[in-house]
């Protein structure tokens, strides 16, 4: 009898996969896919199968997908040149389609996608300006850039696959709008810039909370919405008192119970920022 779930991880040489693979490796039977087998530091990642998931010929990688319990999609084409960004994001939308379509054809049960808070980043400045209090996964997703637009687009594509009318089969789907997982956002704010500090405190996502969120998104049996569609969008943040993206649905549907809290983790840095802001005021 199979004891471990089989999980395919795309973009497995990348940053976010690097954070999560240590949590996944004993828990799942993993297949790692990427277009390269070195991480951002140039170190080789063991066990990567080289595939190009932007390639429209699904036959070049479908064997890896066959019968898996879940696919966790971190594959993402990074763009250095803003002039190419729209074309680049079209590649990311194409890659998302290829992953959904192959997963559907190869009887994968669920796809868990790395989306981003940028899917609805238009609202962020309204919140920081005090014109709005909270964004939920039900707030109409609007972005100020192509990156967020692409995330929203492949979230919506995920819904089409989850609904199953287009293909006569439903592909379960979770979209995780990752917040700020690096832990360096607060350090990088200019001392005393309390607007950026607030954003950094709101967005923080610790590695262990991110692992919990992804694991529960992979493993929770029933992820149907109120209309019976197996589709969810969850914000990926820790238990941040400054948070302005709602995680109430993640708490309710998959029992997400984040252990970390940006105010506690960064209390010393917060103090430095407040003192600097007070000094700046006196000048
Ligand atoms: N890093 C963050 O702070 C952050 C925040 C929010 C959301 N996200 C999202 O998480 C996902 C992963 O981000 P990351 O920071 O790990 O990016 P990354 O660039 O470090 O990793 C992406 C990986 O995808 C691989 N890839 C690129 N093209 C591919 C292709 N054609 N086929 C197969 N693999 C391919 C790359 O080689 C790379 O290893 C992205 O969707 C990103 O938007 C990241």
Cβ(96) to ligand 1 under 6 A?
no
For residue 31 the two structure tokens come to 């297949």
* CA gap 69, 56 in Å, rounded: 23
Residues in the chain: 283
Ligand 1 centroid to residue 78 C-alpha, Å? 7
- Pick the closest to residue 188 from 279, 269, 245 (CA basis): 269
CB of 172 sitting under 6 A from ligand 1: no
For ligand 1, say whether the CB of 88 is within 6 Å of any of its atoms: no
Q: What is the mean pLDDT of the chain?
A: 96
Residue 216's CB: how many other CB atoms inside 10 A? 19
What does DSSP assign to residue 119?
G
Reference 156, options 97, 103, 106, 107; nearest CA is 97
pTM of model > 0.85? yes
Tell me what the mean pLDDT of segment 247-273 comes to: 97
pLDDT in tens, 58-107: 999 999 999 899 999 999 999 888 889 999 999 999 999 999 999 999 99
Q: Nearest to residue 155, comparing CAs of 219, 192, 210, 111? A: 111
Please give the pLDDT value at position 81: 85
**pLDDT above 80 for 112:** yes
pLDDT tens per residue, range 142-195:
999 999 999 999 999 999 999 999 999 999 999 999 999 999 999 999 999 999
Residue whose pair of structure tokens reads 């319990």 in the numeric block: 69
Q: How far is the CA of 8 from the centre of ligand 1 (A)?
A: 15
Q: For ligand 1, atom 21, name the residue with the nearest CA.
A: 14
Torsion of CA 196, 198, 200, 202, to 10 degrees: -150
Give percent above pLDDT 70 in the chain: 100
* 90 in contact with ligand 1, CB cutoff 6 A: no
Closest ligand 1 atom number to CA of residue 178: 6
């Amino acid at each position: 009898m199979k004891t471990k779930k089989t999980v395919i991880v795309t973009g497995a040489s990348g940053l976010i996969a690097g954070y999560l693979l240590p949590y996944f490796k004993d828990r799942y039977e993993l297949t790692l896919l990427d277009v390269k087998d070195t991480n951002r530091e140039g170190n080789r990642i063991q066990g990567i199968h080289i595939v190009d998931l932007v390639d429209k010929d699904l036959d070049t990688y479908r064997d890896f997908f066959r019968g898996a319990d879940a696919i966790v999609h971190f594959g993402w084409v990074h763009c250095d040149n803003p002039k190419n960004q729209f074309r680049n994001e079209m590649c990311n939308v194409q890659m998302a389609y290829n992953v959904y379509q192959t997963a559907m054809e190869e009887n994968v049960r669920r796809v868990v996608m790395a989306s981003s808070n940028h899917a609805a980043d238009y609202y962020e400045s309204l919140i920081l300006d005090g014109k709005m209090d909270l964004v939920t996964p039900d707030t109409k997703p609007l972005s100020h850039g192509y990156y967020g637009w692409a995330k929203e687009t492949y979230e919506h594509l995920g819904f089409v696959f989850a609904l199953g009318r287009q293909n006569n089969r439903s592909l379960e789907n979770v979209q995780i709008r990752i917040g700020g997982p690096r832990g360096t956002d607060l350090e990088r704010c200019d001392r005393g810039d309390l607007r950026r500090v607030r954003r950094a405190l709101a967005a923080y996502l610790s590695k262990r909370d991110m692992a919990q969120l992804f694991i529960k998104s992979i493993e929770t049996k029933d992820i149907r919405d109120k209309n019976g569609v197996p589709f969810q969008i969850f914000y990926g943040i820790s238990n941040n008192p400054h948070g302005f993206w709602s995680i109430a649905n993640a708490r309710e549907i998959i029992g997400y119970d984040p252990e970390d809290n940006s105010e506690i983790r960064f209390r010393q840095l917060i103090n430095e920022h407040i003192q600097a802001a007070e000094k700046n005021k006196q000048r």
